[in-house]
Amino acid sequence: MMLFAWIEKRGIQLRKCAALTGIMFMSLLLQGCWDEVNLADVSYISAFGIDYKDGQYDIYAQTIKFGLIAKTESLQPDPNPVWIGKGSGDTVLLALNDLARSGQTILSLEHLKTVIVQERAMSKIADIMDGVNRQRASRYTSLLFGTKAPINKIFTSDTFFDQSPLNSIMYMPGPLDSQRSFIRPYSLQLAVQTLNEPSMVTTLPALNANEEYWKRKKQPLQIQLIEGIFIFKDLKYLGYLTEPEATGLRWADPEFKHFLLKAQGEKGKAAIAVVSSRGSVDVSFKGDKPIFTLKMRVDGNVAEMDGVIQEHEIVSSVKARIKQEMEDTFRKGLEKKVSFFQLEHHLYRYHQTYWQQACKGKEWLPKPDQLIIEVDFQLIHTGNFDLNIDT
């Protein structure tokens, strides 16, 4: 009996020893806090501006109080709760390294929300995208804008009601786009895809800070707005168009949400709220020349009326206005050596043989008569009141 008791006791000891050994081994696999960083030791860059002058990159970094990043709607006792740094170097990251010389803390891109490229640096877009995206800290969800203005002007623009700087177009373009659709900023992920996609046109919104619209205590406010687009194709910068020149692009935007349009009749006019715009492209060949038919389906409501206007006048006026805007923008694009509405990319996708023969490696452009635009407008309802009828 004593032998069995000793064997059982020895077995328990061995099991305890094995369990303790297993626990000690598994603890070696657990992650510790060896890389813990004190927030007070880090300056998080929320916006990154890139300029190119005299053969060197100038980078601008905007940092915001960390508490404001988590609470974008809080009021600010400090009217200028941002800090702006500037560094220069032969590459983007060398310029950032130059800025780090004067940093009192670690400069981090882990909360980067926006990248703004000055027009002078547009020709270096391939190098800029490589520098921003190659290092692991950058976020592919960051928004990408262009600008003609000094980057300092954008970074020091005003906000309404002393709100956080994050309540601005360069950080939150969604509210503006839901009310007045034009050109949405690309995320870095989408920009990388489109800039490298064969025959695809990339349009970056042009951001500026304008003093003409708003004042506070009789002093003008510099408020951010989108004033045009920068055009790229195959990583090559092709030029700039103002919003009036590029207004036809809004109707072909798959993310279109809302725009107010004027409809003109013989005895009155109306403001039409366009709430949906969808397009599709068909291609037919006339000999060896492709003919593109861009079919638009647009829906809208009557938002306001002045005078007497009939439903058929509204429909015909809106259709004519949208078609004219798209045709004008298409012609403006041809002047910049680019075909808007992704016509060449449509050939690349669905007519590869023709694209290989006629477009690949060549500066292919369609003629104005190779695009036919058809607009179908549906008036969903007339608002709270019936249309005025001339009796």
Tell me the per-residue pLDDT of 77-130, one tens digit each, with 9 for 90 and over: 555 678 899 999 999 989 988 988 887 777 878 888 999 999 999 999 999 998
Segment 241-261 shows an average pLDDT of: 95
236-242 vs 223-233, strand pairing mode: antiparallel
Across 303-312, average pLDDT: 90
**Extended beta strands in the chain, E state:** 42-53, 56-64, 82-89, 106-108, 114-118, 143-147, 186-187, 201-210, 215-216, 219-220, 223-233, 236-242, 259-264, 267-286, 289-308, 371-381
Taking residues 239-258, report their average pLDDT.
Answer: 95
CB 233 within 8 A of CB 200: yes
Tell me what pLDDT residue 82 has. 82
- Mean pLDDT (whole number) for 325-352: 95
Sign, CA dihedral 306-310-316-322, equals positive
* pLDDT over 90 percentage in the chain: 57
Mean pLDDT, residues 167-171 taken together: 90
Question: Residue 77 has what pLDDT?
Answer: 55
Residue 42: its pLDDT value, please? 72
Residue 370 has pLDDT above 90, yes or no: yes
pLDDT for position 342 = 94
pLDDT of residue 316: 96
Higher pLDDT, 65 or 100: 100
For the ranges 36-40, 131-135, 302-306, 327-331, the one whose mean pLDDT is highest: 327-331
Over residues 62-68, mean pLDDT: 71
Return the residue matching tokens 């039409």. 272
Counting Cα atoms < 13 Å in the Cβ hemisphere of 247 gives 13
**In this predicted model, what pLDDT tens digit does every residue of 125-152 receive, in sequence order?**
999 998 888 776 677 889 999 999 999 9
Domains of the chain listed by start with CATH number = 39-245 (no CATH), 258-391 (3.30.300.210)
Choose between 160 and 15: higher pLDDT: 160
Cα–Cα distance measured from residue 304 to residue 281, given in angstroms and rounded to the nearest whole number = 32
pTM: 0.85
Q: How confident is the model at residue 391 (pLDDT cuts 50, 70, 90)?
A: very low
- Coil, helix or strand at residue 158: coil
Statement: residue 16 has pLDDT above 80:
no
Span 324-343, mean pLDDT? 95
pLDDT for 83 equals 87
Q: How confident is the model at residue 389 (pLDDT cuts 50, 70, 90)?
A: low
Q: Cβ-count burial of 320 within 10 angstroms (0-12 exposed, 13-18 middle, 19+ buried)? A: middle
Report residue 43's pLDDT band, with 50, 70 and 90 as the boundaries. confident
Amino acid letter for position 385: F
The pLDDT of 277-306, averaged and rounded, is 94
Tell me the residue length of the chain. 391
pLDDT at 376 over 90: yes
